[in-house]
Amino acid sequence: MAPINEEKLAKLIKDGVKQNIWLLFGNDIFLKDLYCDKLVKATVNESLKAFNLRVFNDEEADIGEILAATDILPVMSERTCVLVRNFPLASLRKDEIAELENGLRDMSETTVLIFFFGTINFEYGKKDFQKWTDIVNLVSKYGICAQLDKRTPERTAKMLVTRAKDRNTRISAEDARYLVDTVGGDMQTVQNEFNKVCSFADGKPVTREMIDEVCTKSIEASVFDISKCIFGGDIDRAYKLMNELLRQKTPLPAIIGAMASAFVNAYRFKLALNADRSPAEFKEAFKYYGNLSEISSFVRATKLSSLKECITVLLDADAKSKSTSTDAAILLTELTARLAAAVK
């Protein structure tokens, strides 16, 4: 069975943890931590954790010790929990994988086993991660595997609208999405910035002006604004925004990398439009979660050859940043000017 998503996992936990084998992976550390904690709390009474919760970290045990722990009976409780954090399952030998499968097949009904990958990241189904894909498929035969990737901005914004009520304030769906676009998609960052602006609002509705005043803008959001200025011909503002990133001591490679990502997405979007594909089809094909409506008119009005030239300019800037001692401000000023000239 293929891995389930966050929505299905949340429902399974809400309905009561009936399955006793779980594997959590994905690219969102906050969500993995959140649901791992929920599984443990749904399994083990807080006052009896010392007796009924066993935790293995990284490579501090072998697969035999882990499976042996799953045979220990619970104390004054219906179930015991074995939590295995960041154990390198993909590095197991064939005989160890066979041992693992036997253990999963014969798992005691009084034990809940959780494999949790907080710092180990892999992409299920990708050729480069075939061993991990095989492990996920193996565990799926006997339990539940959940892939917890970053939420879409729409889903995160919806969550903020609901959570605002708990903070004795409110925020519109549009402004919640603006906050997500401003601070980035990392859930931990979103939570921190949302709590900050709610405290600032002090019971009043959260507005965009408050978000701009209080929240720290992500480099992706800053670069998105710079890209819009370049496409729109507002070069003076583009320079100011670039200087602001430098003032914040944003690393030069991060700025160039984010710029490259923005223009590559614009290039892909242009190709999609030229092939009579809709914006929705583009977003689905490339898992693009940005706000296309803000750049759509610019991309439509820009030649494909110009966007291709922009990517060449960015490659050149990246090479210069790594091979010369040119001052970052000078390099970014030159980069902005060359991009502006390319899209005219």
Tens digit of pLDDT for each residue in 90-142?
999 999 999 999 999 999 999 999 999 988 888 898 888 999 999 999 999 99
* Cβ atoms of 336 and 235 closer than 8 Å: yes
User: What's the confidence (pLDDT) of residue 176?
Assistant: 95
Rounded to the nearest integer, the mean pLDDT of the chain is: 91
Of residues 137, 136, 94, 92, the one with CA closest to residue 115? 136
- How many helices (H) and strands (E) in the chain? 17, 5
Which of 37-46, 88-97, 221-230, 288-297 has the least mean pLDDT? 288-297
pLDDT of residue 55 exceeding 90: yes
Rounded Cα distance between 126 and 132, Å, is 9
Mean pLDDT for the stretch of residues 253-264:
90
Share of the chain above pLDDT 90, in %: 65
- Please tell me what DSSP assigns to residue 89: G
Q: Please state the pTM of the whole predicted model.
A: 0.69
pLDDT higher at 248 or 335: 335
pLDDT of residue 296 exceeding 90: no
Predicted confidence band of residue 193 (pLDDT cuts 50, 70, 90): very high
> Long-range contacts for 282-291 (Cβ within 8 Å, ≥24 apart)?
289/152, 289/153, 289/185, 290/181, 290/224, 290/265, 291/177, 291/181
